[in-house]
Amino acid sequence: MWPLSSLIGNTDKALADSAVKIERTYTMPDRHHNAMEPHATLAVWDNDGTLTLYDSTQMVASLVLGVPEEKTNVVCEFLGGGFGGKSWSWPHTLLAALAAKVVNRPVRVQLTRAQMYSMVGHQAATVQTIALGADNDGKLTGLRHDSVNPTSLFDDYVEYAALASRHLWRASSRHLWRASGGISTSHRVVRVNRNSPVVLRAPMEAQGHFALESAMDELAYATGVDPVELRLRNDTDTDPYSGRPFSTRALRECLTKGAARFGWDRRTPEPRSMRDGRYLVGQGVAAAIFTHWRWPAKARVTLNGDGSALVEAAAHDIGTGTYTVMAQVAADALGLAPDRVAVRLGDTRLPESHPAIGSSTAANATAAVLLAARAAREKAVELALAGRDAPFAGTEPGDVMVADGRLTLAKANLNITYAELLARNGLSSLAGDGGYDPVEEVNGPKAIFSFSAVFAEVRVDPDLGLVRLNRFVGAYDAGRILNPKTARSQAIGGIIWGVGQVLLEQSETDPASGQFINRNYSGYLVPTNADIPELDVLFVGGFDEEASPLGAKGLGELTAVSVAPAITNAVYHATGTRIRDLPVTFEKLL
C-alpha cells in the first residue's frame, strides 16, 4: 500500500513564494453501495464434507471455517452489482455455512435492504484541505493536499483521497526538485464508534479528484486562465511523484478533443453569464488520473473436438461485459467466430484469478485468457507440423495462419479445421494454460495510469436552487479499447454513478447513536432515468504495451472520477456560488 504522506521538493517555500495562492477545504459525506442485488449466500454441504457457497461476491476465495481449501468451493457466475462492497467476506456468509452444517441441509441467507446500510460496509466521509500556488500564468508551483477520514475503533482503513495529487499535475518533480516547486500529501484517520469503511466505486480517486479539480477550477478563476487551458499548461510527460515517464498519457487529447466535442469555445467565462430562458446555464470541466492495477491471473482455453472452444477462469463478470470480452479475445487468438467460444467464470475450481476490483479484469484476467488461447493455438500448430499425418510437416510455425476455425498454410494452399486436426490425432480436446504474472506497477520502468477529461453543462433554477444536468461529454484514455460497445456502457454507468455522488447521495447518521439512519431508497437518493440526459463518450487512447499484453488499461471506475467536480464547477459558472460540500442540494444555492 502507499505511504500515508509524501513530499517532493519544498512545498512550504513554493506556496509562500507563489504569485497566486488559494487554500480551500472540501467535504464529502459517507455513502453506501446500494447494489441492486442484495448480499446473499446459499451454503451447501456434501456428504463428503465439501462446502459449496453460492455467494454474491466480487472475489471467489476459500473461507476460514476450519475446512480444508480443497473441500471449499465458492461460486459466483454473475453479479448483480458490487461496487466494492462485495469485495469482502461478510458475517452473513459464514453464518449461512454454519447454519447449513447444523441443520444438515442447504441454507440461504439474504440481507434486507435495510441491513445493507449496517452490515456490509460503506464509504468513509472525507475532509480535504488543498493549497495551490501558481504563477500569474496559472502554472502550478506548489500543491499541498491533506485528507482526513473516519474509521472504526478497531480498524485503520485509510481513504487515500490525496493520492491523485501526487501524479496528475506538474507542480514539482522528483528529478527537478532542487530547482523549484513542491508537492506534499498526507492522510489521517479519526477513530469513531462506527462500522469499518470499505472501498466504494471509485475509491480514493473519486473523492480526491472532487477536491483537487474543484481547486484547479478556483485557481483558473483566480488567475484569469481558461479552465481547459490551465490544465494544458500543467500537463506533464513525467510522473511528478516517481520521476518515471508515463507509459502513455493522452490527457492532452482528452482535454482538446473533449472540449471540441462539447463546444467549449462557445462558453462565456463569467459566472451567471449564460441563460436558457429563466434558467442559469453553467459549464464545467475536470480531468482525472486513475491507478492501473497489475495483478496475476490464470486461465485455461480448451479447443473441443467439434471445433469450438471453452474459456475457463475464476474471474468475475460484475456487469461490465467480461463474458463478451473474454470470448472475443479468445476467438481472435484462435481464429474462431465469437459464437463458437463459451466462457465459464466465477468458480474456485477454475484457474485462479484476482478479484473483480480496481477496474483490472480486462487488462489482467483477460490477458491470461489471451496467453491461454495462444498456448492452445500453438499446440494445434505443433500437431499440424509434427502430429499424426501432419498436414504441414516440414514447415515453420510462423507460416501457419488461423482463421475461420482453420489452420492454413497459404504458400502451399493447404488447410485443416481444428475439428479435423483433433480427430486425426485421436484427441477429444486440446487445452492451453495461460498465466499472467506482471511486475507491480510501482516497480516498472514507467508509470502506468488511465486518464480522462469530462465536461458538464447544468441548468439551475435560480428561484428553487434545483440543479439539472443538461449535457455531458467524457473523453477517456484507457489504452486499447477491446470492445467499444461494452466500454461505452461502462462509461455511461460511471457517469451516472458520479451524478449520484455529486447531486444526490449521502448517508446520514443519528447524532445520538452514531448509527446510519438510512434504510431504503426513500431516504437515500440515487439517479433515475429522469435525472440523466444523453451522455456523449469518446475514447482517445492507444495501445499501452506496458499496461498489458492486450494494451488495455483500467476504464470502469475511471469513468466515475471527476464527474462531481465537473458538475460543481458548472454550478459555480451558472450561479457564482461555489459548492465545497457534497451533495449539491438546493438549500446550498439559495
**Is residue 533 reached through a cis peptide bond, with omega within 30 degrees of 0 on the bond before it?**
no
CA distance 271 to 218: 12
Q: Can you read off the three cell numbers belonging to residue 218?
A: 478556483
Catalytic residue among 159, 440, 557, 587: 557
CA-closest candidate to residue 207, choices 86, 151, 123: 123
CA distance 344 to 361: 15
Q: Can you read off the three cell numbers belonging to residue 203?
A: 475509491
- The arrangement of strands across the sheet holding 279-291 comes to 274-276, 279-291, 449-460, 467-477, 535-539
CA-closest candidate to residue 346, choices 62, 60, 37: 60
For 144-195, what is the HEC assignment?
EEEEEEEECCCCCCCCCCCHHHHCCCCCCCCCCCCCCCEEEEEEEEEECCCC
Contact status, residue 391 vs residue 414, Cβ threshold 8 Å: yes
Residue 95 CA from chain centroid, whole number: 31
CA distance 536 to 401: 39
**Is residue 202 reached through a cis peptide bond, with omega within 30 degrees of 0 on the bond before it?**
yes
Q: With residue 311 as reference, give the H or E element that holds it.
A: strand 309-312
CA distance 226 to 348: 52
CA distance 149 to 125: 6
Question: Is 557 tagged catalytic?
Answer: yes
Burial annotation 6-25 (CB, 10 A radius, 16+ → b, else e): bbbbbbeebbeebebbbebe
Through-space distance between the first and last CA atoms of the chain, rounded to whole angstroms? 43
For 323-367, what is the HEC assignment?
HHHHHHHHHHHHCCCHHHEEEECCECCCCCCCCCCCCCHHHHHHH
Farthest-apart Cα atoms in the chain, separation: 84
Contact status, residue 407 vs residue 399, Cβ threshold 8 Å: no
Q: Can you read off the three cell numbers belonging to residue 371?
A: 496467453
Residue 137 neighbours by CB under 8 Å, 6+ apart: 223, 225, 233
Q: Would you give the DSSP letter of residue 531?
A: G
Q: Can you read off the three cell numbers belonging to residue 53?
A: 457457497
Q: Would you call 447 exposed, middle or buried from its count of C-beta atoms within 10 A (0-12, 13-18, 19+)?
A: buried
Active site residues: 557
